Amino acid sequence: MGFRTAVSTSTGLAFAALQYLAAAGLVAYVAGDSAWISIGVAGLLALLAWGFFGELNGMFPTAAAIRRYMGQAMDDRVALSITFTYLTTIVLVVAADAFIVGAALTHVLHVPTGLTALWTLVLLGLAVGSNLRGVKVAGWVQDVATTLVLTVTTVVSVVALARSGTPLHTPLQPFHHRSGTDFVESVALGIFLYSAFEWVTTNVEEVRDPRHIHRAMFLAICILFAVCAVMTTAMSHLLDHGQLTSPYPQLPLGRRAFGTAGVWLMTAVTAVTAVNTFNGGFVTASRFLYATAREGSLPPVLARLNDRAVPWVPVVVLGVASFFVAVVVEVVGGSEWQVLVAMGAALEAMIYAVAAFCVLRLRGRLADHHRPFRVPLVRVLAVLGIVVFGVLGVVASVSVSNRFDPVPLVIILVLGAASGVYTVRVVPRLRAAELERRAAVRPRRRPLPGGSGPGTDAMADPGPAP
């Protein structure tokens, strides 16, 4: 993987279809024409997170980095619980993307809204099917898809603004008719616009030069700021409240730029975002579940491979879970997808705060460890990161559509508690059973010194699960 693909991967993973809704939500409820300022502040905070991930990924240049640095910085059970909770972000984003693309198709084809579930099923079915067949989007396809999405979104936004013929209302007044709390909420939502830029760290073993990952993440944040700032400015200036709160605000924006052709163009672009999201989401999550099952922390069934060496159970589980979430959002109706945005923003802020904590803790615990990149003023910046991202996470988790709504927080707490109970109660039993079974099923095979046949001593480090 070259530098260009690393940039497109980082940017493409962050720029899901849900970003259109998150940007519109930010405009509709909190920031108005000054939304770009909130996005800029969120971008600066994302740069802070970039510093944390840069240091941690440099220390542990592996796809399993999150397990390694969290395992070193805190109790393994806590680390595992946080990781499982964080994984739900992937399900949320995949589910939301499938729903949004389905809703957009329903809208442009003028068919009954009930068909959205069908489109969602077809999209997720295609994603699951291609994953099970071991199809992986080639690097150049990802480059083209991401470039296309970002370019078309920017051009549509700029053309729509140019055609409006009216100046912006309050482009430099984030507090115009707004309170400080509104601004904080908008920054919390803004964090979501950058979410998943760090997923590219799982590709570190594939890049020609590990430093590419660090630089790619930086560039991705800059690109995301530019595109999201232009897009939200255009949305705030040109779309009405109903359009901003619909599940497809990008379509009316396309209409303002290029008429009906613009609607189709943005529909196509929305569908293309799913290529990156589904590819990155399914591959990242399913491989993580597989590795965790192989480690003995998840049921062995999740480590089953099909004839193409794909962990088929995690792929199917992710597909079914995503479909379930998408259907729930559709059935509940209204603007319930904003709950997904709030949850995504809160979980992302949480993982940034955890990264800040890990950086600080590992400076003490692994002081001599090689660090290609070091966060400067770490005591100040890491503590700042923990506090700021912690507060933003809490704010995001109780703010839906600019009103107090604890639903996202409750869901996150339930997920976190379930992960915690699983880790504390189930994982030790799973690991013990696994060790017992391995030892019973197959003794150590390596010949003992001086002997010619296999040994029979119990294994200190037993082999793979049956």
Partner 1 sequence: MSDVATAEELAEAYRDWRVRCNANPRLAKMLRGWDRTVHLVTSDTGEGYTLSVAGSVLGELRSGLVGAPDLVVTATSEDFTDLFWGDLNPSEKYLNGEIVLAGSSEDVMRLDAMSMVAFLDQ
Residues of this chain that bind partner 1 (CB under 8 A)? 1, 60, 62-64, 67-68, 134, 136, 202-203, 205-206, 283, 287, 290-291, 294-296, 300, 303-305, 307-311, 442, 444-449, 459, 461-466
Which helix (H) or strand (E) is 243 found in, with range? helix 241-244
Residue placing its CB nearer to partner 1 in the complex, 99 or 278: 278
Chain centre distance of CA 49: 14
Give Rg (Cα) of the chain: 23
Comparison of 129 and 259: residue with beta carbon closer to partner 1: 129
What is the C-alpha separation between 337 and 445, in angstroms, rounded?
54
CB of 406 to partner 1, least distance (A): 36
Tell me which residue has tokens 């964090």. Answer: 191
Q: Kindly state the tokens that stand for 458.
A: 């119990």
Minimum distance of partner 1 from residue 379's CB (angstroms): 26
Q: Report how far residue 285's alpha carbon sits from residue 289's, in angstroms, rounded to the nearest whole number.
A: 6
**CB closer to partner 1 out of 75 and 205:** 205
Q: Which is nearer to partner 1, 114 or 451 (CB)?
A: 451
List CB contacts of 341: < 8 A, sequence separation 6 or more: 18, 21, 22, 25, 96, 189, 192
Question: How many angstroms separate the CA atoms of 181 and 300, rounded?
Answer: 47
240/307 with CB nearer partner 1 = 307
Q: How far is the CB of 68 from partner 1 (least distance, A)?
A: 6
Let me know: does 234 contact 157? Beta carbons within 8 Å.
Answer: yes
Amino acid at site 242: G
Q: How far is the CB of 307 from partner 1 (least distance, A)?
A: 5
Question: CB 9 → partner 1: shortest distance, Å?
Answer: 12
Between 247 and 462, name the residue whose CB sits nearer to partner 1.
462
DSSP sequence for 258-311: HHHHHHHHHHHHHHHHHHHHHHHHHHHHHHHHHHHHHHTSS-GGGG-B-TTS-B
Q: What is the DSSP letter of 203?
A: G
The interaxial angle of helices 211-238 and 250-295, nearest 10 deg, is 150
Q: Which two tokens stand for residue 99?
A: 């729903």
Between 163 and 431, name the residue whose CB sits nearer to partner 1.
Answer: 431
Q: Which position has the token pair 């971008």? A: 43
Rounded to 5°, the CA angle 158-162-164 comes to 120
Q: Which is nearer to partner 1, 296 or 344 (CB)?
A: 296
- List C-alpha distances in Å: 179 to 44, 88, 182: 21, 32, 5
Facing residues of 400 across strands?
Answer: 403
Alpha carbon distance, N-terminus to C-terminus of the chain: 34
Dihedral sign, Cα of residue 156, residue 219, residue 20, residue 288: positive
Percent of residues in the chain assigned helix, strand, coil, to nearest 5: 75, 0, 25
- Whole-number Å distance between alpha carbons of 434 and 352: 33
Nearest CB to partner 1, comparing residues 25 and 58: 58
3-state secondary structure of 77: helix
- Nearer Cβ to partner 1, position 313 or 386? 313
Nearer to partner 1, 67 or 256 (CB): 67
Report, in Å, the least distance between residue 309 CB and partner 1: 4
Tokens, residue 266: 């943005």
Cβ closest to partner 1, residue 272 vs residue 283: 283
